Amino acid sequence: MSTELEPLSIDRAIGQKILLAFEGKDDLPGEIRDVIRKVRPGGFTLYRALNIENPAQVHQLTQALQQIALEEGLSPFLIAADQEGGQLMAIGEGTTQLPGNLALGAAGSTELAHQAGVVLGRELAAIGINIDYAPCCDVNVNPHNPVVGTRSFGQDPRKVAALSAAMVAGIQASGVAAAAKHFPGHGDTASDSHHGVPVVPHRLERLREVELPPFAAAIRAGAKLVMTAHLALPEVDGRDDLPATLSTSILQGLLRRELGFSGLIVTDALDMRAILQGMSIEQVAVSAVSAGIDLLLLGPSQTSPASIYNRLLESTQQGELDTESFQASTRRIKALKDWLGKQALPPELDVVGCAAHQAVATEIAGRSITLVRDQGGLLPLRLQSGQRMAVILPRPLDLTPADTSSYVSPALAQELRRYFSTVDEYLLPHAPQDQDIAALLGQVQKYSLLVLCTLNAYSQPDQASLVKAIVQTGIPCVVAALRMPYDLAAFPDASTFV
């Protein structure tokens, strides 16, 4: 992608600040071209449910979008996606399924984090996506955090900082821009900004010790973008209802001046309840740009880009938005597009999911597995002649809006059958009811060994009840936490836990 942008008039510069979303996978909706002509957007965000089936299809879609940009006389579009690895993969089928950031934190290797970034970047570049909304730089210090969890590298700020920087470097070495998120840190919240405004109650001194170091490291590593969080920091700017996305003191004071960030600031999705709070999307857009936002990430449910464009234009013409700041933002967008235009040609599509990338994922997975205890001496797994094993798992489920786990098919039983001929699988609801537990208890008596997997059972009492009931049968049982390791606290009697 090559571009050298000329200075833009205000009316054209406004559109560059807007990242559109739309529903369509093969044929672009007819109204998209009309919106492009009116708004002249900076680019698009692609969503798994709306735009994505497989890498080849996404490649055709991104090429079609860039062709429209060419035909309309626009600079090449920024095309972004949430390709974090782990629980949030905008492009899933056919891509390399990396285990995710918490697995990298358990592995404790900056080299693997860099390799993971390279894998993400190369595969995105091959299919035509040039911004990755990754890595997640949040320090997950709150076990009850409903939205970050395994998306974080862990709870140690120094480790999170080192791994964040390594992943940024890997993504951008592949010619894709990285967006460090969610500034100034979503790791110590007990609510989800998709549903309301989380409040981080800490003073600035604490933020400097815990939340900010990973972002500082990502910035030093050259992160081209930082994504904001729709959360309030009353000890920083005096309000418990003002999201960081709309806070001048946080964006200009903390991010620009204190951390020295000179790249693009992009919002989290603007269809989240935490940002709207009774305001119109047009009001939110003006407030965000006024606070220092460069790129407005429209969510898939927002169908009013033209009205957002018109309101921004009106605000600029009436002096509500500072012209000098607006032009500085335009120059930052230009700088990113110029950087993208100077990157090497993307790899061929066959790099997506290739053997070398799969080997990286396998190494991360292997090194991330942590044995907490094996008091029963059940590992490595063993079966005598005539004995049977059962694998018990909750059905994959999207636990938050920032989750694509429901697209995943469990493969543990299938893999174990490579080593043991008598392995059965039981898939249960994420929150099993009494009748589900009773039915399972009636089945497991015929097995000599159980592998019982959990998905955040520490926050799901029904799932924890299932584990306790199974453990009490006395059947040898390996309990494996597939997401957060906090699960053990919900069933401390489990003798073997990984």
pLDDT in tens, 416-445: 999 999 999 999 999 999 999 999 999 999
CA distances from 127 to 182, 251, 354, 359 (A): 25, 32, 14, 20
Is it the case that residue 498 has pLDDT exceeding 50?
yes
Is it the case that residue 384 has pLDDT exceeding 70?
yes
The mean-pLDDT minimum among 32-46, 153-167, 264-278, 357-371 falls in 264-278
Is it the case that residue 334 has pLDDT exceeding 80?
yes
Its pTM surpasses 0.75: yes
More confident residue, 30 or 254: 254
Q: Residue 24 burial (CB < 10 Å; 0-12/13-18/19+)?
A: middle
Is it the case that residue 47 has pLDDT exceeding 70?
yes
CA distances from 461 to 87, 302, 489 (A): 22, 36, 12
Is it the case that residue 408 has pLDDT exceeding 70?
yes
SS3 270: coil
How far is residue 294's CA from residue 333's CA, in Å, rounded to a whole number?
7
How far is residue 448's CA from residue 187's CA, in Å, rounded to a whole number?
41
Q: Is 194 a catalytic residue?
A: yes
Active-site hit among 114, 182, 186, 194:
194
How far is residue 191's CA from residue 401's CA, in Å, rounded to a whole number?
13
pLDDT for res 191: 58
Write the pLDDT tens digit of every residue in 91-123: 999 999 999 999 999 999 999 999 999 999 999
**Tokens 């000599």 map to which residue?**
448
Share of residues in the chain with pLDDT > 70 (%)? 96
The domain limits of the chain are 10-351, 370-497
Q: At residue 326, what is the residue type?
A: F
Buried-state track 68-102, b at ≥16 Cβ within 10 A, e below 16: bbeeeebbbbbbbbbbbbbbbbbbbebbbbbbbbb
Q: What is the DSSP letter of 378?
A: -
Q: What is the DSSP letter of 244?
A: G
More confident residue, 267 or 326: 267
Cβ atoms of 123 and 58 closer than 8 Å: no
How far is residue 411's CA from residue 420's CA, in Å, rounded to a whole number?
14
Q: Which DSSP string corresponds to 416-478?
A: HTTT-S-EEEEEE-SS--HHHHHHHHHHHTT-SEEEEEESSGGG-HHHHHHHHHHHHT---EE
The bridge status of strand 18-20 relative to strand 296-297 is: parallel
Q: Is 419 left (phi over 0), alpha (psi -120 to 50) or beta?
A: alpha
Token couple for 407: 């697209």
Handedness of CA 451, 457, 461, 462 (dihedral sign): negative
Cβ atoms of 43 and 20 closer than 8 Å: yes
Write the pLDDT tens digit of every residue in 282-299: 999 999 999 999 999 998
Domains 10-351 and 370-497 share a fold: no
Model confidence at 399, in pLDDT bands (50, 70, 90)? confident
User: Which residues, 6 or more positions from 492, have their beta carbon under 8 angstroms from its beta carbon?
Assistant: none
Is it the case that residue 173 has pLDDT exceeding 50?
yes
Q: Is 237 a catalytic residue?
A: no
More confident residue, 397 or 263: 263
**Tokens 């990286």 map to which residue?**
360
Other Cβ atoms within 10 Å of 333 Cβ, number: 21
Write the pLDDT tens digit of every residue in 55-101: 999 999 999 999 999 999 999 999 999 999 999 999 999 999 999 99
How far is residue 151's CA from residue 101's CA, in Å, rounded to a whole number?
5
pLDDT for res 293: 98
Considering only CA atoms, give the Rg of the chain: 24
> What average pLDDT does the chain have?
92
pLDDT for res 196: 62
Cβ atoms of 87 and 403 closer than 8 Å: yes
Is it the case that residue 480 has pLDDT exceeding 90?
yes
Active-site hit among 138, 188, 192, 268:
268
Is it the case that residue 2 has pLDDT exceeding 50?
no
Cβ atoms of 83 and 134 closer than 8 Å: yes
Domain 10-351 has CATH 3.20.20.300: yes
Is it the case that residue 126 has pLDDT exceeding 80?
yes
Model confidence at 1, in pLDDT bands (50, 70, 90)? very low
pLDDT for res 189: 77
Query: What is the strand order of the sheet 264-266 is part of?
Result: 264-266, 225-228, 177-183, 131-132, 78-81, 43-45, 18-20, 296-297
Model confidence at 32, in pLDDT bands (50, 70, 90)? confident
Q: What is the DSSP letter of 151?
A: G
For the segment 439-461, the average pLDDT, to the nearest whole number, is: 94
CATH topology of domain 370-497: Rossmann fold (3.40.50)
